[in-house]
Structures are given as C-alpha cells and as structure tokens.
C-alpha cells in the first residue's frame, strides 16, 4: 500500500515541455557529450551559485567553474581523482561516519582508506576537533567533508583553514545542498577545493540522475571534465584515470526547466520546515541548526532521547507517514566499512543515530499533510493511544 504521506515527492517540470526539449535533441542529433543543453545548463548553474556571492565590481559567475556529471557519486570520485589522484591503498581520507555510504565507497574506489570522524554534537556537522585527532595518527591525503543534510556548516571557514594547515584538499560533499546558503548568505558551491551536488530524484533540485562539481579552480574543473570523459585530453588521448560520467542532454534540459522553478521550490520547502519547527519545537523536538537556510532535503529533527525518537518514528510509520532516520545505520556500522579506522569513539555520531527523525518534505506539500504529520507526532509524545483521526 502506498503511504499516505510519502517521504519524497519531487515536482517535475511539465512533461509536455520536456517532450519539446526531447524533440529539439532529436532534431539536433546530439544526445550527450557536452551538447547545447548541457552547456547552457552548466552556465546557468554557475550563475545561480555565484548569484548572491559576486564581490562588488565583478561579473556574476566570475571564476566559477561548473562541470556537470551523471550523478554525485561519480562527481565525488572525479573530485578526489582531480585533487589528489588515485591512491595505492596505503593513505587515508577522512570522512564523517554520519553521512551517506557514497562517501566512503568512493574513497575506497579511489584507492584510499576511509577514516571515520565524529560530528559536532549540536549541529551534526563534521567535527574539526575529531579530524585533528585523526590527522595525528593517519597519513591523510584529503578530507572528504560533508555538509550534513545539505545544510551549510557555520564553521566552513574553520574547515578551510584546517585543510590549508594540513596541506590537503578539502573536497566537499554538498549532495543534498544545491540552493542552500552558508551562514554568511553565500550559496553553497564555492568553498574548499570543490563542492559536489546531486540532482537525484530524491534531492530538492531533482532531475532524475545527475549532479555537478563546482569549483573556483580551473585546473580542478579541467581534470573533472577529463575524468568523466575517459581521461581524454583535448586531442582525445587518455592521459589520466577516467570513466564515463557525463550528463545526458535530456537531463540537462530537465535541469534548465527545474532551475526556472527553483525559487518557488525553495520557498515552499522552507515553509514546510518552518511549519514543522514552530509546531514541534515547543514539544521538545529540535531541528538541525541552519535547516531554514538550506534547500531542506527533509525535515531533519532531533528527539530528546532514543525512547521518544522510536515512539515518534513508529507512530508516524504506523499512521502512513513515510518518515525515516537518516543516517542510521551510520557509515562505520555498514558491514562494508566495519574494518575501517575511526578517529575516536564517534560518540556524537552514535547519539545522533539514536535520536534523529527525518520528516517528509515535498516541494508542494499539502497543508493537510503537514498538519497530519504534526498531529501524529504530538499524539506519539502524549503517549496517547487514541487513533489519529484523518484530517481530511
């Protein structure tokens, strides 16, 4: 049975318009390999990221390089190869355990060992202190930092300083964060060596499968572009490790349509987050700091303790609300990474895994659905066993 409130429900552009785009693609006989839709899309993405960040007097999009990719996982792979090259299995890359499995998977594919670091107890963002501990013990080649839930870390500048002092690149997994802002109002995309975004159907900016690597460094952009095209240089000689990770024209076309709708998408998603927060914070729930300036991939909520989290989650699921608990299991508890090193006890990671709830957020969520989620949680916390009366 399909849930009453699904976890994710992307709003796609009008299928007729996508049909028109497909017609143009067929007419031009250009389906992939950096065609006109892809070039327009990467330019517009750069304008968007730089849109509220350009220093006075500079052109919008100045010095911003965008390379589209088939998905963010391959984008992360390309970013590591572009910044530190392929490893021989002896060196390490630091990565938070409180993230999606793609991060540590990619580290291993690139020939490095993942070393898991902890998160900050309060913000759930990767902990610089934990990374510093790991740096003393391991031969670290790079940092695969993650903006947790696509929320821009308030301390991103500390991470940049830490990476510079350590002399290693800071590759940023901002997969869920296209459209999010850092605390200073700049959009995500311009920090570290590069930031990697996902445009998967489950993310706020959804085109199906797709992503982008955004950087200020033209050398990183060139290497990513080469990586995703078999390691080819301009003469089509393979000169570095490569794969096929290019974005198709049709996905770029969908992306252009989504970009035109994106202001409305963000406004609607942030309104849901704020409705959740104002109704549920008085009941002792806490929302991840910075959620309101993010693109809100879901309602990232923290319960006071494990018992109430489990009660809330069970009640939601039993009532047909497809809530989740991201990221549980945390990465270091996946069997594939059981043998990986850990910087420390990862205490805050364990605590977060025990207390998080991920609430559904849709780009155009019915008020009734928001009210139903709030009501269900309220009753779960009351301990009331009275069946929830459907709002509609």
Residues that bind ligand PLP (CB under 6 A): 71-73, 99-100, 102-103, 146, 173, 175-176, 198, 200, 211
- The whole-angstrom distance between residue 379's C-alpha and the CA centroid of its chain comes to 32
CB 78, min distance to ligand PLP, A: 12
Tokens of 67: 């390379």
* Closest CB to ligand PLP among residues 280, 325: 325
Give the whole-angstrom CA distance, residue 376 versus residue 301. 15
* Closest CB to ligand PLP among residues 146, 194: 146
Tracing tokens 């050398």 back to the chain, one arrives at 219
CB 210, min distance to ligand PLP, A: 7
Show Cβ contacts of residue 370 under 8 Å, excluding neighbours closer than 6 positions.
272, 275, 276
CB neighbours of residue 187 within 10 Å:
23
Alpha carbon distance, N-terminus to C-terminus of the chain: 19
CB 103, min distance to ligand PLP, A: 6
DSSP string, 138-194: S-EEEEEEE-GGGPPPTTHHHHHHHHHHHT--EEEE-TT-TT-B-TTSPBTTSSSSE
DSSP string, 272-304: HHHHHHHHHGGGT-EEPTTGGGS--SSEEEE-S
Give the whole-angstrom CA distance, residue 349 versus residue 146. 14
* Closest CB to ligand PLP among residues 126, 169: 126
CB 119, min distance to ligand PLP, A: 13
CB neighbours of residue 182 within 10 Å:
22
CB 76, min distance to ligand PLP, A: 7
* Closest CB to ligand PLP among residues 254, 380: 254
∠323-96-161 over CA atoms, to 5°? 130
Cβ 160 vs Cβ 274: under 8 Å: no
* Closest CB to ligand PLP among residues 92, 198: 198
Tracing tokens 């070039």 back to the chain, one arrives at 39
CB 176, min distance to ligand PLP, A: 4
* Closest CB to ligand PLP among residues 280, 353: 353
CB 306, min distance to ligand PLP, A: 23
CB neighbours of residue 306 within 10 Å:
12
* Closest CB to ligand PLP among residues 198, 226: 198
């Amino acid at each position: 049975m399909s849930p009453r409130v699904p976890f994710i429900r992307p709003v796609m552009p009008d299928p007729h318009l996508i049909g028109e785009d497909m017609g143009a693609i067929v007419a031009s006989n250009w389906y992939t390999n950096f065609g006109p839709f892809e070039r327009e899309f990467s330019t517009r993405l750069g304008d968007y990221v730089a849109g509220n960040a350009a220093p006075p007097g500079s052109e919008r999009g100045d010095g911003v390089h965008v390379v589209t990719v088939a998905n963010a996982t391959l984008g992360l792979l390309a970013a590591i190869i572009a910044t530190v090259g392929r490893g021989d299995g002896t060196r390490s890359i630091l990565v938070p355990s409180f993230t999606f499995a793609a991060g540590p998977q990619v580290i291993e594919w690139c020939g490095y060992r993942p070393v898991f670091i902890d998160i900050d107890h309060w913000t759930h963002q990767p902990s610089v202190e934990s990374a510093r501990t790991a740096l003393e013990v391991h031969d670290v080649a790079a940092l695969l930092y993650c903006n947790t839930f696509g929320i821009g870390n308030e301390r991103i500048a500390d991470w940049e300083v830490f990476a510079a002092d350590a002399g290693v690149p800071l590759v940023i997994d901002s997969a869920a964060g296209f459209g999010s802002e850092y605390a200073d109002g700049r959009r995500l995309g311009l920090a570290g060596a590069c930031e990697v975004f996902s445009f998967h159907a489950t993310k706020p900016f959804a085109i199906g499968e797709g992503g982008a690597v955004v950087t200020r460094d033209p050398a990183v952009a060139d290497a990513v572009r080469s990586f995703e095209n078999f390691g080819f240089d301009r003469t089509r000689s393979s000169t570095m490790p490569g794969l096929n990770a290019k974005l198709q024209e049709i996905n770029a076309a969908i992306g252009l349509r989504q970009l035109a709708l994106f202001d409305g998408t963000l406004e609607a998603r942030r309104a849901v987050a704020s409705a959740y927060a104002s109704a549920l914070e008085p009941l002792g729930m806490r929302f991840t700091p910075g959620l309101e300036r993010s693109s809100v991939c879901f309602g990232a909520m923290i319960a006071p303790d494990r018992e109430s989290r489990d009660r809330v989650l069970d009640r939601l699921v039993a009532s047909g609300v497809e809530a989740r608990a991201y990221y549980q299991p945390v990465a270091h508890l996946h069997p594939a990474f059981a043998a990986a090193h850990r910087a420390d006890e990862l205490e805050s990671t364990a605590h977060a895994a025990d207390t998080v709830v991920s609430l559904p957020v849709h780009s155009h969520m019915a008020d009734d659905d928001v009210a139903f989620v709030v009501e269900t949680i309220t009753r779960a916390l009351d301990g009331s066993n009275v069946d929830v009366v459907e709002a509609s």
